[in-house]
Structure 1
Amino acid sequence: MENINKNRLFYASCVALLVTSMTFAIRARLETVFGPEGVGLTLEQIGWAFTPAFWGFTIAMIIGGPLVDSLGIKKITWMAFITHAIGIVWTILAKDQTSLFLATLFVGIGNGMVEAALNPMIASMYTNNKTKMLNRFHVWFPGGIVIGSLVGWLIMDVMGLGWQIMVGVLFIPLIIYGFMFLGQNFPVTERVQMGVSNNKMIASLGKPLFIFMVLCMFLTAASELGTTQRIESLLKESVAVPLLVLAFINGIMALGRAFAGKVIHKLQPAGMLLFSAIFTFIGLWLLTITSGGMTFAAAAVFAVGVTFFWPTMLGFVAEYLPETGALGLSIMGGAGMLSVSVVLPVMGKLMDNANAMEALRTMSILPAILIVAFIGLYVYMKKRKPNTQEA
């Protein structure tokens, strides 16, 4: 990789992911702005207005995945920058469900393009430490949610300023990552490096192990993001400032991902995923029976569970199914975000018609299913011959 500044590209990628993750925290805070006590939308309507953040992300990843190989990582990265900028401006101008929907769509496309371009870039730059470096990269997803949560709390709840100023803060990391990527040489994807043909890549997507991982991604992402994205409504009766619980959860996640290397070495990806599913289930169940200060204890258990889900799912595919290429990683990420787009309106309807605890109890079913699935994966990987990529 001649004339490629790996460190600058990696750090620029982290700032780009910071923009992505801050949009999640800020959008969670916007729920009360546009909700029944603000603009007047129902929680179900807000759920529908927020869904493009997830299926827009999915479309961007599914389209961006194969384009990363043909157009190159650099062009997809700049597409992310442009759509992020449009989405932020449109959010500031949003006044109703339709405008919020369209703003969220552009933000979602920008977020999807970030992951479509930068997950395979990091896998191609660090071929011997894929899961470790993807976990370090994804430190900035929970890290950004912590920052976004604190920004929302400080600007709106402490300083009493308008929500438009809170959204406008997103321009700071946006300009930084644009500057850091400017003029840089980008690597080609690992699939291109390996010389894997399009036909072989497409064929590899039909492997049972890959299909199994895609199905599990639906449940891991929904367990994590479905819960955290609606934290304001889910915990408003349990704790005074739900956004601080969100910051607390994601602070734990950021620390866990920063030191993921030792855990990966000890448990291996399949073991990490089983560990995650167990703690996520326990955490969600505890959130249904706690209030006040104990909510933070339950949230800590939940955070330990979801910490390794997203990057380890991607790392597993990058390590054991590398021939699926950037498209494989994009399908994984897209499946995860698509599942959240389905879950959000369902959760909104449950909260409109029943209560938040019912929504949390329903969500706990997902990691319960994952416990069974990942026990099977762990046993399968133990029996599998070392270093084989066939499944």
Structure 2
Amino acid sequence: MNNIKKSQLFWASCLALLVTSLSFGIRAGILGKLGTDFQLTATELGTITATAFWGFPLAVVIGGFIVDAIGMKRLLVMAFIFHLLGIVLTIFAQGYWTLFISTLLIGIANGTVEAACNPLVATIYPDNKTTKLNHFHLWFPGGIFLGTLIVILFNSIGLSWQIQVAIMIVPTLVYGYLFSKLDFPVTERVASGVSTATMYKSVTSPLFIFMFICMFGTAITELFTGQWIDVLLKNVTDNAILILTLTTGVMVIGRGLAEPIVHRFSPQGVLLISAILAALGLYLLSTLTGNAIYFAAFIFGLGVCYFWPTMLGFVAENIPKSGALGLNLMGGAGMFAVSVYTIFMGGFYDRLILKKLPAGANEADYLSAAPGTEMANLLNEAKNAAGPEVLQATLVIPIILVVAFTGLVIYMKNKKKEALTH
């Protein structure tokens, strides 16, 4: 395959990932508005948000099993259809269930994009997988960055959340058109002649299982925090979505500069440094106030910047026989963990709020209270106090990752020594 065709496939993949990430950024920005418009509790908002993370692992894992058989192109046509349906249904949502179904469809589309595009990038750049996966995945924070800017801009000029969601139709139509015109290679695993049995055996190896479990933590640290930031940090700033804008801006630049960093520190070294910075950033986000919160967002952005693509890159480079299935099981593990955690923490957040309201209070009564009334003010104060506590509870996850990745660095160092002596 020549460089022009590689480049066309790579940039079309980036555009498809842009739609995926725009859905995250815009949804994070309108989450509070959806809660107000449809009188949804934090638990209901958490369940709606989680459906995107359910749809993703469902699609990415099924895609991992069938991509070698049906080809990457057919998967991406399916992603296009699901994206279009999900976006249109969101625009015309009437309440909880239509939001639930539309968000699930978008989640399925997002997972299908990654099910095809992660192995596609690894296939067309076999000698530079971690770096190119970082370059590809910079479009994820890039889209969230653009999505949050769209929310801020459209809110300031008084445009509805429906119009904000409709913006996603444009890049969806463009990537659907591009992929329909391009020719795709077979996956790297098929091209190299690695058997299906060997692929299945590779995803049961101890190293893969270890990385699979670590993916739970890296995904939750990055994606749960990002998706809920506007809800959880309203106590610190009237425009908490700006924190997500800054965080994702840092991630775009960091992933763009991935090549020298990955080569200098190795994928496992990058993961250890990331976990340390993510833990520090999450602690600062939950404790700092005023303008200092933006410093916390910067540190957190540096921390989560390399998590997702470097986890995939590590598996692609060190367990290559796991093929497309290995990459997609990793992505599915991350999103599934976020979906479960989001529902759990939505309920935890509701319980924290109730504890901070007067004894015997019913949250539903407070949610329906008119703005400016005593009940509405008490609810806002309870939410403001509860948000940072949710972040502090989440802090334990990157701390565990620091220990896990320290072990990984030592293991890979010893493995390299053994290889050199033999």
Would the TM-score normalized by the shorter structure come out above 0.5?
Answer: yes
Residue in structure 1 matched with residue 289 of structure 2 by the alignment: 291
Q: 2:198 aligns with which of 179, 197, 200?
A: 200
Q: Report if aligned partners of 1:4, 1:184 keep a CA contact under 8 Å in 2.
A: no
**AA matched with 1:333:** G
Q: Is the 8 A contact 1:350 1:356 kept in 2?
A: no
Other-structure match for 1:186:
184
1:117-169 alpha-carbon deviations (Å, 9 max, x no partner): 000000000000000000000010000000000011111x2110111100000
- RMSD (Å) for aligned C-alpha atoms: 1.3
User: Is 1:273–1:308's contact at 8 Å kept on the other side of the alignment?
Assistant: yes
2: CA distance, partners of 1:272 / 1:376:
13
Q: In the alignment, what sits opposite 1:24?
A: 24
Contact 1:3 1:185 in 2 (8 A): no
Q: Find the counterpart in structure 2 of residue 33 from structure 1.
A: 33
Counterparts of 1:382 and 1:319 in 2: how far apart (Å)? 15
For residue 375 of structure 2, what is the aligned residue in structure 1? none
Percent identity (aligned): 49
- Distance of aligned partners of 1:11 and 1:387 in 2 relative to their CA distance in 1, 3 Å threshold: farther
TM-score (norm 1): 0.97
Query: Which residues in structure 2 correspond to 1:194-273 (within 5 Å)?
Result: 194-273=192-271
Query: Using the alignment, how far apart are the partners of 2:3 and 2:139 within structure 1?
Result: 26
Pairwise mapping of residues 69-108 of structure 1 onto structure 2 (< 5 A)?
A: 69-108=68-107
Higher mean displacement: 230-239 or 213-222: 230-239
Letter in 1 for 2:393: T
Match of residue 317 from structure 2: 319
Q: Which piece of structure 1 moves more, 169-178 or 374-383?
A: 169-178
Q: Is the 8 A contact 2:30 2:151 kept in 1?
A: no
Amino acid at match of 2:39: G
Separation in structure 2 between the aligned mates of residue 8 and residue 2 of structure 1, nearest angstrom: 10
State whether structure 2 residue 160 is matched by structure 1 residue 162. yes
In structure 2, the gaps of 5 or more residues are 353-385
State whether structure 2 residue 372 is matched by structure 1 residue 374: no
Q: For 2:287 and 2:203, locate their aligned partners in 1 and report how far apart those are by CA, in whole Å.
A: 42
Partner SS, residue 181 of structure 2: coil
CA distance in 2, matches of 1:286, 1:339: 24
AA at the equivalent of 2:129: K
Matches within 5 A, 1:46-65: 46-65=45-64
Counterpart of 1:14 in structure 2 is 14
CA distance in 2, matches of 1:357, 1:230: 11
Q: Is the 8 A contact 2:114 2:328 kept in 1?
A: yes
Give the count of matched residue pairs: 386
Aligned residue type for 1:150? L
What letter matches 1:364 in structure 2?
L
Unaligned runs of 5+ in 1: none
Whole-angstrom CA distance in 2 between matches of 1:328 and 1:175: 29
Find the aligned partners of 2:46 and 2:275 in 1 and give their Cα distance: 25
Deviates more, 1:101-110 or 1:347-356: 347-356
Structure 2 residue aligned with 1:340 = 338
**Is contact 2:38-2:96 (8 Å) kept?**
no
Structure with the greater alpha carbon radius of gyration = 2
> Which aligned pairs between 1:303-314 and structure 2 lie closer than 5 A?
303-314=301-312
SS at match of 1:51: helix
